[in-house]
Structure 1
């Protein structure tokens, strides 16, 4: 089953308290919500992001990540 993940990226050069970039969508395939969380974490880390939070929302997963320098 495909799950949609909304990814909000916090730029490395962002001013303290500044907003993240607009959300982009990431699609992961998984059999359960727990497996989707794990797949999303692995993919985001592989893409070079530091995951700040990952939660389940009513319409899918939502995550905030930081760009690594």
Structure 2
């Protein structure tokens, strides 16, 4: 559980797994464009790819929300 709250590790995951491969554009950006365009032709492996590359960003968002609510309650 401690690893899920380590913001340095989560940032590293976002920069590596979340954005890889980097060229010609980050993979997650291409997938999000595909989804916003209607997701026509997406297969299961493409949805799994979105989940895999997007999960570090979900963890980062979770840490940010926790930190915001901790500062408001203190």
- Decide: shared fold, TM above 0.5: no
Q: Give TM-score scaled by structure 2 length.
A: 0.26
State TM-score, norm by structure 1: 0.27
Query: Which structure has the greater CA radius of gyration?
Result: 2
Higher helix share: 2
- If each structure's strand is expressed as a fraction of its own residues, which one has the higher value? 1
